[in-house]
Amino acid sequence: MNKQENYQLLLEQAKSLLTGEHDLIANMSNISALLFSGLPNVSYAGFYRYQNGELILGPFQGPVACMHINLGKGVCGTAAATRQTQIVPDVHQFAGHIACDAATNSEIVVPIIKNNELIAVLDLDSNDFATFDEVDAEYLAKITMLVIA
């Protein structure tokens, strides 16, 4: 199965999991588990919720994570501040990268916006370099919209 086919399957599974469920934490919990178990080479899959002007750790799968991230700091804070998906093939080359897990080498962060307000970001890490691309960005954006539907 290629990457796009795998994401199509994950998208359908996400729809099934989240249909009729509107609790944000429950949805984030199930999606982080789905992505962590369903995507190859992912070492961390989790959410940071935007509250009180900062990102606060939400549901995740993987090693322990940073609990508070300021806007504009690291890949997550940059995605939140710019409201644009960040694809980082080599986190060691990203100015200001926050190394929550020293084994991480690549990362993608997708901002989650509803009614023009930042709700959270979805953060995926990999121990491999250049794991994430535009296909990941496209499907992760679709999946995150289900979380807040």
The pLDDT assigned to 36 comes to 98
The pLDDT assigned to 99 comes to 73
The pLDDT assigned to 68 comes to 96
Residues of the chain with pLDDT under 50: none
Model's pTM, two decimal places? 0.96
- Enumerate residues 6+ apart whose C-beta is below 8 A from 128: 41, 105, 106
The pLDDT assigned to 1 comes to 85
CA 47 vs CA 79, 109, 129: distances in Å? 12, 9, 21
The pLDDT assigned to 136 comes to 98
- Enumerate residues 6+ apart whose C-beta is below 8 A from 27: 17, 18, 21, 146, 147, 148
The pLDDT assigned to 103 comes to 84
The pLDDT assigned to 19 comes to 94
pLDDT tens figures, 89-119:
999 999 877 777 778 999 999 999 999 999 9
CATH architecture label of 3-147 = 2-Layer Sandwich (3.30)
The pLDDT assigned to 102 comes to 78
